[in-house]
A and B are shown apart, each in its own frame.
Chain A
Amino acid sequence: MARSSKAVPWLVFAGGGTATAFILPVIVIITACYAFFGGFSAALSYETMHGFIGHWLIKLIVFGIMFLTLWHAAHRLRVVAHDFGIRADTPVAIVVYGLAAIGTLATIIALLNI
């Protein structure tokens, strides 16, 4: 039996799970407050957000979080497919990691345009 290449996405999955566990709650709280009663409208205004995310260091951090989150979700989706009885692991892996790769690329393009 050969050593499985699943080690690589798993590392990203674990890193992404940890990063999202720490960071996701507060981001969700902020957008949820805005969605529910217009909270944090100053922070979410175009001027503030554009100035904030416009900084190269913030762009780098946003990219890092986005990359980890996408690959975390993709890998877990692969496991969920298996749990739900879908045994075609290789096609599932190609689809979910492919989507994560597209998402990562889209993030880079979007960030470069800010």
Chain B
Amino acid sequence: METRNITLEVLRYRPEEDDKPFFQTYENIPCDPDWVVLDALNYVKDEMDRSLSFRWSCHMFVCGSCGMVVDGEPKLSCKAFLKDYGDKIRVEPLANFPIERDLVVVIDDFVEKLESVKPYLIPKEEKTVDQGEYLQTPTQLKTFKQYSMCINCLLCYSICPQYGLADEFVGPAALALAHRYNADSRDVGRKAREDVVASHDGIWECSFVGACSQVCPKDVDPAGAIQQTKITSAIDYVTSFIPGVKS
């Protein structure tokens, strides 16, 4: 197969020797036509510069660990095909997160937020395995299925200006996942999640820029999930003042 020579400009940061990140250029990377950006990075690491750090695992859009900013756009680098890019590609770590090293970012903040929205099934009554499954119809499944496709790749946090402006914001993926469980017919945990979800730093910090949904590699549509949550939460909030209505 005919190879194509590609140049990568990679934002590098080595904490033990650098005070701030800088771009390092790797030229003449011989790439197969069907390669993705991640393949080119792996070539650099294997053949040119072993010190380059980046996260990756599955190479097939499932694990969510190889998120990077490619030519200004957050992408899974395993899904960024070289045929869609020019001969010079700029690769940076995800925006809005501190850089740990090179293309590796610190994601502790997100993990804490993810935990805070209780992203797991809270059933009305716990069942033992002997008591059987929590049944659900295909229609009930369809209601939330889209929001369950999230792989926590954090492309949405990288593009979200509200998270960039104020990192107290719970953010797109965590709120979409809260919505995924709230919309699940087997779940009764909406009230338990509401204190975080409907707080000032939750859904109300979102101004519906909609960028998260545009960059999501799994078509989760976090922006849509957040707006739907706003509607139900706002109605809850208002009706809680009406005597006799329990929120």
Contacts and interface: CB of A to CB of B under 8 A. Distances in A.
Interface of A: 1-8, 10-11, 14, 79, 82-83, 85, 87
A83 B207 contact: yes
Interface stretch (B95-103, B175-183, B229-237): B229-237
Contact of A6 (B165, B194, B196, B200): B200
Contacts of B234: 7-8, 10-11, 14
B194 A7 contact: no
Contacts of A8: 234, 237-238
Given A8-B238, A10-B234, A11-B238, A79 B196 contact: no
Contact of A4 (B199, B231, B235, B238): B199
Among A7, A79, A82, max chain B CB count under 10 A is at A7
Given A10-B204, A82-B207, A3 B238 contact: no
A87 to B, nearest CB: 8
Contacts, number: 51
Question: Is chain B's interface secondary structure helix, strand, loop, or mixed overall?
Answer: helix
Interface of B: 161, 165-166, 194-196, 198-202, 204, 207, 230-231, 233-238
Among B165, B194, B202, B237, max chain A CB count under 10 A is at B237
A4 B200 contact: yes
A3 B165 contact: no
The 5 A-B pairs of least Cβ separation, nearest first, read A1-B199, A7-B237, A7-B234, A6-B204, A4-B200
B207 A3 contact: no
B161 A3 contact: no
Contacts of B196: 1
A6 B234 CA distance: 8
A83 B160 CA distance: 12
Given A1-B195, A1-B201, A2-B199, A7 B233 contact: yes
Given A79-B207, A83-B161, A3 B237 contact: yes
A1 B165 CA distance: 20
Contacts of B235: 11
Contacts of A82: 165, 207
Among B161, B194, B196, B230, max chain A CB count under 10 A is at B230
11 contacts: A1-B199, A3-B199, A4-B200, A6-B200, A7-B236, A8-B234, A10-B204, A14-B231, A82-B165, A82-B207, A85-B165
